[in-house]
Amino acid sequence: MAEVLSQQQIDELLGKLRSGNVDFKAIEEQSSAKKVKEYDFLSPKKFTREQLRLLENIFDNFSRLFALYLSSLLRMSCQTEVLQAEEEEYREFSNALSDSILVGVIGMHNKECNIDDKQILVEISRPVSFYILDRMLGGNGSGYLVDRDYTDIELSLMEYLFKRMAGILKSAWSNSFELEHTLDRVETNAQTVQFIQQDESVAIVVIEVTLNELKGNVNVCLPAASLEEIFKIFDSRYVKVSKKSDPKQEKHRRGAIMDSLRDTELTVSAVLGKADVSLRELLALQRGDVIPLHTKVSEKSIAVNVESQEWFSGELGTKEKHYAVKISKILQ
């Protein structure tokens, strides 16, 4: 999530601009200087670039499936797009949430891999949620600017939506990992979400939802603790670890491959010459006709092909009353 300036910082910046005390030259030098990214060794990164890219691909599939579902549910054109997938501390995500929120706590399960009680958060912005509710209740979607708590009927409708989203999440993950997704509960207060520590690393996937003129976000919060075991199993199945092979073993392996190939049958052909004829001439050929070749009579060099590749050149002769070719040169 981008850093947000406080009101005091904004007032100080505006005050410096009005008084003319801002050193634009220093700001320009600072912006053109080499960027240095700070790294907190007390809170090391838990997600690699490959893992974040994997999550981005998974939720790109989710966004497309979710857009199709919304279009059929609301009877209108809906568009979704993954804006970013990045790592941050949970406190940064929770501080950006308002007092009244709509969050679905979704569990992830896989009995074969002993994955259970792993939970993620899916937060739908208030304008998007009330737009969907207005359309589901027969409205035209204009009543999304609402500043109040959700009613019991509205929460029941949104609970139905979150359950459908859990099924879409299962389909989005299916290409990478088999996971069952279930809706555990729906929260409207960020303070009631207690299973994530404030300093815990989480992956935040921001999905922009466009409903006619309205644009809002669906934010997915994935704690590192919930994904740690999943990434381990995924890496052991699909990620190949490069290892330096023993030279003796490599030589033995190559010898075994060559031994298995030595008995392979290949077609060897001697090409006496070639000629170009038209289709009319080919159809007019009769028994006894002579086809002149491009090869001259004085030439002793004959091409010897292995399969379709020209490997040798040789001389035509006889051996034991059979035509034969004596190899005179190795071309490859």
pLDDT in the model for residue 64: 93
Residue among 243, 203, 209 nearest 226 (CA): 203
Q: Is the pLDDT of residue 148 over 60?
A: yes
d(CA 86, CA 37): 15
Lowest model confidence (mean pLDDT) among 113-127, 129-143, 295-309: 295-309
In the structure, what pLDDT confidence band is assigned to residue 245 with cuts at 50, 70 and 90?
low
pLDDT in the model for residue 79: 92
pLDDT in the model for residue 65: 94
> In angstroms, how far is CA 59 from the centroid of its own chain?
9
Lowest model confidence (mean pLDDT) among 6-15, 133-142, 150-159, 321-330: 6-15
Q: Would you kindly state where each structural domain of the chain is located, as residue ranges?
A: 39-238, 266-286+293-332
User: Considering the domain 39-238 in this protein, what is its CATH number?
Assistant: 3.40.1550.10
d(CA 52, CA 219): 15
Considering the chain, what is the average pLDDT of its residues? 83
Q: Is the pLDDT of residue 311 over 80?
A: yes
Residue among 79, 169, 81 nearest 120 (CA): 169
Q: Longest Cα pair distance anywhere in the chain, in angstroms?
A: 110
Selected residue with higher pLDDT from 293 and 39: 293
Q: How many CA atoms lie within 13 A of 263 on its CB side?
A: 3
Q: Which residues contact 203 (CB under 8 A, 6 or more apart)?
A: 47, 51, 52, 55, 85, 86, 87, 221, 222, 224, 227
Read off the DSSP letter of residue 246.
Answer: P
pLDDT in the model for residue 1: 45
SS3 sequence of 290-307: CCCCCCCCCCCCEEEEEC
In the structure, what pLDDT confidence band is assigned to residue 181 with cuts at 50, 70 and 90?
very high
Inter-axis angle of helices 49-74 and 152-173, nearest 10 = 130
Burial class (CB in 10 A: 0-12, 13-18, 19+), 6: exposed
266-286+293-332, what's its fold?
Answer: Surface presentation of antigens (SPOA) (2.30.330)
Q: Which residues contact 53 (CB under 8 A, 6 or more apart)?
A: 85
Residue 326: enclosing H or E segment and its boundaries? Answer: strand 322-330
pLDDT in the model for residue 158: 93
In the structure, what pLDDT confidence band is assigned to residue 40 with cuts at 50, 70 and 90?
low
pLDDT in the model for residue 221: 92
pLDDT in the model for residue 3: 54
